[in-house]
Amino acid sequence: MDRRKKYTRMVLKDSLMQLLKQKQISAITVKELCGLADINRSTFYSHYFDQYDLLDKIEDEIIEDMKGYLSQYDFEKEEESLPMIEKLIEYFASKHDVCKTLFNEKVDTTFQKKVMVFAHGVFMNHWTTSKNFEEDASEYLSTFIISGSIHVIKSWLNNDMDKSPKEMAGIINKLINGGLFR
């Protein structure tokens, strides 16, 4: 992709994130988005179908990045769980503004659901097989761990990342592997 296309997509993504801080995706128009990005509508439509398509692409890009981060780790080795969680949290920190916006309850996006589905797949394929959980219990355990982890990360993002990624990874890892009282 050439530099102009990259620049156009970056400006559109940034503009959408800016608008999502103020209103729902359903209240954002392509005209408004193009005005903020200072591009014409035909340029927008050469890249995206509509504002929902742009949002979907932003969310999918983050999920793909998360897949890349997770592919570096061996889920069967317990000593890799802390560095893996830390890397993911560092990624969320590097995309703080976007992730905070997409995780916001006031913003109607599918991001949290996409993260849940992705994480559930990873959990069911790797973690549960290495820990030998019963399949029916694994579904509930996965939902519990993933929901809790996402809400901890959301809280951390909303608290302006008041702890380092390493500290947050330690907290989440301890809760996942040791529970409350270990």
Interior/surface letters 60-84, b for 16+ CB within 10 angstroms, e for the rest: eebeeebeeebeebebeeeeebbeb
Average pLDDT along the chain: 88
Is residue 103 a contact partner of residue 154, using CB atoms and an 8 Å limit? yes
Tens of pLDDT along 35-88?
A: 999 999 999 999 999 999 999 999 999 999 998 877 777 666 667 778 888 888
- At residue 72, what are phi and psi to the nearest 5 degrees? -80, -5
Q: What is the pLDDT of residue 76?
A: 62
Amino acid at 142: S
Give this prediction's pTM.
0.87
The pLDDT-based confidence of 129 (bands split at 50, 70, 90) is low
What single-letter amino acid sits at 17? M
Residue 182 banded pLDDT, cuts 50, 70, 90: low
Query: What confidence tens digit (pLDDT) does each residue in 4-30 have?
Result: 999 999 999 999 999 999 999 999 999
Top-confidence residue, 149 or 70? 149
Q: What is the pLDDT of residue 89?
A: 93
Question: For residue 170, how many other CB atoms are within 10 A of its CB?
Answer: 16
Residue 164 has pLDDT above 70, yes or no: yes
